[in-house]
Amino acid sequence: MSSTEHTELPAYEAPDRNAHGRLDDTGDVYEMLDDAHEALAHAGNAYEALNDGDDPRWAYGTGFADPLAGVDTRVPDGVDGADLAAYCLMLGDDALIMSHRLQEWCTRAPELEEEVALANIALDLLGQARLLLARAGTADGSGRDEDALAFRRDAGEFRNVLLAEVPNGDFAEAMARLLVFATWRLALLERLTGSRDPVLAAVAVKGVKEVAYHRDYAAGWVVRLGDGTSYSRERAVAGLAAVWPLVTELFTPHEVELRLASAGAGADPSALREGFDDVLGQVLTAATLTRPTDTTFTQSSDTTLTRPTDTTFTLPRDTAPGRPAGRSGTHTAALTDLLAEMQSVARAHPDATW
Amino acid sequence: MVTARGVAGAVADPELPMLTLADLGILREVEEKDGGAVVVTITPTYSGCPAMGTIRADLFAALREAGYADVQVRTLLFPAWTTDWITRDGRRKLAEAGIAPPGTAPVRHGPVPLTLGPAHRRLDCPNCGSGDTEELSRFGATACKSLWRCRACREPFEHLKEL
């Protein structure tokens, strides 16, 4: 067709509403586009439009402010500020690192619904991490903000349990790991709703509601896989076996946890085991799976963990028997790799704001 | 008469724009001080709600436009937000937008019981009203919603989860 023969296009007509009136807001979309075009014409180019003025709403989801803005962050009497900070760092690091491993499922989950679920769970945990890290920075008086704590600490300064940091396996392993993590964390947060630190108690009250959904989600999948086909069952058994060596550490108290528990602000993790076993028992019975035997890896020799995928890695040997590895800052090499990725942008642009 | 509470309460939620902050129940307090300063207290819906920063900025912008120069926005974590705080009007607006509103949030004493299997609650389809619906996924496009499907009219729909 030559350029002179162009046909005039019919004027655009908005489609009729369907039976359910779902196109109600069609007009609004065009108004929004008009507004956007006007703003672009005014600003000259897209980048100027985005940065127009001091409005922090330039892109959706940014404009992050201090998650504890305006919250009373005084440390209650009888609670040591440094201990409280160390404790919040432990719980915040658990959430941050577990969130990162769940985020790694984005674009890799078996179905869209599962991808959305895993991303939502990761987002809840990231929110909990932000509040807890911000609390750590106010409790010890250092004033370090959430970014300083998340992006400018090395692996040895992280206090998360090893369960949160080990590399991802297959989907069945992810469900076994999330079931263990969420069951343990829910039991912990339930105790912390009565913490003498009002900030920690408030974070826990909200966290309980969120993590209850996470636990139900993972439990549903463990049952579906365990009581499914012979192949799904095989994967479920292997996934459970891969995460079980990391269970003992969850209930091994660190001295900071014990001190905070005595001060009425924290919880002794060893007291959570009974409730954990009860819930896991219900799930595994429904899934027709057998509970693996507990193993302790911190005591004498290096333990190589075999995974359902073809990766194996060595768990750290703790110098002090019976001490929780992650809570003492002893981690697997996997955490160093994870941090290299998670912190790369913040470390490359230390003064950037977003 | 324009009040700071009226202005703040009329700000739309960025993720559920059919609801105002007042409808959603996250506006806890709006205090107008003698010198004209305004202190707004809001509470997050979910810990990781990515809209909090936007909501704060929207509040500043709306109140400044209404003539309040000195505005502070505070976060209140406790008592934690519950979907029970969504107003009757808010529930109607959700249903009109095709989102099934939440039922009563569970009140718990003691450990949270494990729920295995699909949701036991029944929802009416916001499109055709049929009760023949099923949950597709407990997680949806935002932290606060789950995905459902109506077997009668075949339309998928969202549900604001009880929290």
Asked whether residue B31 carries a pLDDT value surpassing 70, the answer given is yes
Asked whether residue A241 carries a pLDDT value surpassing 90, the answer given is yes
pLDDT of residue A294: 82
Establish, for the pair of chains A and B, how many residue pairs have beta carbons separated by less than 8 Å.
Answer: 136
Which whole number is the average pLDDT over B120-145? 89
Q: Which residue bears the tokens 């499109």?
A: B127
Domains held by chain B: number: 2
Position B108 in a domain = no
Task: For residue B3, give how far its alpha carbon lies from the nearest alpha carbon of chain A (Å).
Answer: 22
Which whole number is the average pLDDT over B137-146? 88
Residues of A in contact with B51 (CB under 8 A): 61
Which whole number is the average pLDDT over A283-292? 96
Do residue B76 and residue A117 have CB atoms under 8 angstroms apart? no
> What is the distance between the alpha carbons of residues A128 and A126, in angstroms, rounded to a whole number?
5
**Residue B3 forms contact with A (CB below 8 Å):** no
CB A297 within 8 A of CB A314: no
Residues of B in contact with A125 (CB under 8 A): 48
Residues of B in contact with A57 (CB under 8 A): 54, 57-58, 61
Q: Is the dihedral of CA A156, A160, A163, A166 positive or negative?
A: negative
A8-32: string of b/e by CB count within 10 Å (b at 16+)? Answer: eeeeeeeeeeeeeeeeeeeeeeeee
Least confident of A266-275, A288-297, B74-83, B120-129: A288-297
pLDDT > 70: percent of chain A: 73
Q: Which residue bears the tokens 């990231």?
A: A126
Query: Do B76 and B140 fall into the same domain?
Result: no
pLDDT range class, residue A293, cuts 50, 70, 90? confident
Query: Do B92 and B77 fall into the same domain?
Result: no
Query: Do B50 and B99 fall into the same domain?
Result: no
pLDDT range class, residue A26, cuts 50, 70, 90? very low
Do residue B80 and residue A126 have CB atoms under 8 angstroms apart? no
Range 59-88 of B in CB contact (< 8 A) with A: 61, 72-81
Which whole number is the average pLDDT over A254-278? 97
Q: Which residue of A has its CA nearest to B118?
A: A220
Do residue A20 and residue B128 have CB atoms under 8 angstroms apart? yes
Do residue A55 and residue B46 have CB atoms under 8 angstroms apart? no
Query: Do B61 and B97 fall into the same domain?
Result: no
pLDDT range class, residue A2, cuts 50, 70, 90? very low
Note down the domain range covering B149.
Answer: 87-103+117-160
Q: Which residue of A has its CA nearest to B76?
A: A71
Residues of B in contact with A223 (CB under 8 A): 116-117
Which whole number is the average pLDDT over A285-303? 74
Which whole number is the average pLDDT over A13-18? 43
Do residue A116 and residue B127 have CB atoms under 8 angstroms apart? no
**Residue B44 forms contact with A (CB below 8 Å):** yes
> What is the distance between the alpha carbons of residues A324 and A319, in angstroms, rounded to a whole number?
10
Q: Is the pLDDT higher at A67 or at A127? A: A127
Position B111 in a domain = no
Q: Which of A20, A57, A209 sits opposite B57 (nearest CB)?
A: A57
Do residue A123 and residue B54 have CB atoms under 8 angstroms apart? no
Residues of B in contact with A22 (CB under 8 A): 98
> What is the distance between the alpha carbons of residues A170 and A307, in angstroms, rounded to a whole number?
9
Query: Do B61 and B75 fall into the same domain?
Result: yes
- Region of residue B130 (left: phi > 0; alpha: psi -120 to 50; beta: else): beta
Residues of A in contact with B75 (CB under 8 A): 67-71
Task: For residue A132, give how far its alpha carbon lies from the nearest alpha carbon of chain B (Å).
Answer: 10
pLDDT range class, residue A306, cuts 50, 70, 90? low
Query: Do B99 and B66 fall into the same domain?
Result: no
> What is the distance between the alpha carbons of residues A98 and A214, in angstroms, rounded to a whole number?
12
Position B148 in a domain = yes
pLDDT range class, residue A18, cuts 50, 70, 90? very low
Do residue B143 and residue A217 have CB atoms under 8 angstroms apart? no
Q: Per-residue pLDDT tens for B85-105?
A: 999 999 999 999 999 999 998
pLDDT of residue A229: 97
Tell me which amino acid residue A255 is: E
Asked whether residue A62 carries a pLDDT value surpassing 80, the answer given is no
CB B116 within 8 A of CB A283: yes
Position B35 in a domain = yes
Q: Per-residue pLDDT tens for A163-180?
A: 999 999 999 999 999 999
Position B109 in a domain = no
Asked whether residue A351 carries a pLDDT value surpassing 50, the answer given is yes
pLDDT of residue B131: 94
Angle, CA A196 vertex, CA A153 and CA A279 arms, to 5°: 80
Which whole number is the average pLDDT over A123-151? 93
pLDDT of residue A5: 47
Q: Is the pLDDT higher at B94 or at A24? A: B94
Of A63, A65, A135, residue with least CA distance to A95 = A135
> What is the distance between the alpha carbons of residues A200 and A205, in angstroms, rounded to a whole number?
9
Q: Which of B41, B47, B137 sits opposite A116 (nearest CB)?
A: B137
pLDDT range class, residue A254, cuts 50, 70, 90? very high
CATH code for the part of the protein at A81-347: 1.20.1260.10
Pick among B41, B72, B139, B148 to test the A interface (most A CBs inside 10 A)? B139
> What is the distance between the alpha carbons of residues A82 and A160, in angstroms, rounded to a whole number?
17
Instruction: Provide the 3-class DSSP secondary structure of residue B103.
Output: coil
Asked whether residue B22 carries a pLDDT value surpassing 60, the answer given is yes
Position B92 in a domain = yes
Query: Do B93 and B76 fall into the same domain?
Result: no
Query: Do B37 and B93 fall into the same domain?
Result: no
Asked whether residue A221 carries a pLDDT value surpassing 60, the answer given is yes
**pTM for the predicted model, two decimal places:** 0.83
Q: Is the pLDDT higher at A69 or at B49? A: B49
Query: Do B33 and B95 fall into the same domain?
Result: no
Least confident of A188-197, A207-216, B13-22, B41-50: B41-50
Assigned token pair, A341: 């990725």
pLDDT of residue B1: 79
Asked whether residue A39 carries a pLDDT value surpassing 70, the answer given is no
> Which residue ranges make up each domain of chain A?
16-63, 81-347
Q: Which of B78, B115, B137 sits opposite A202 (nearest CB)?
A: B78
Do residue B138 and residue A117 have CB atoms under 8 angstroms apart? yes
Which whole number is the average pLDDT over A246-250? 92
Instruction: Provide the 3-class DSSP secondary structure of residue B156.
Output: strand
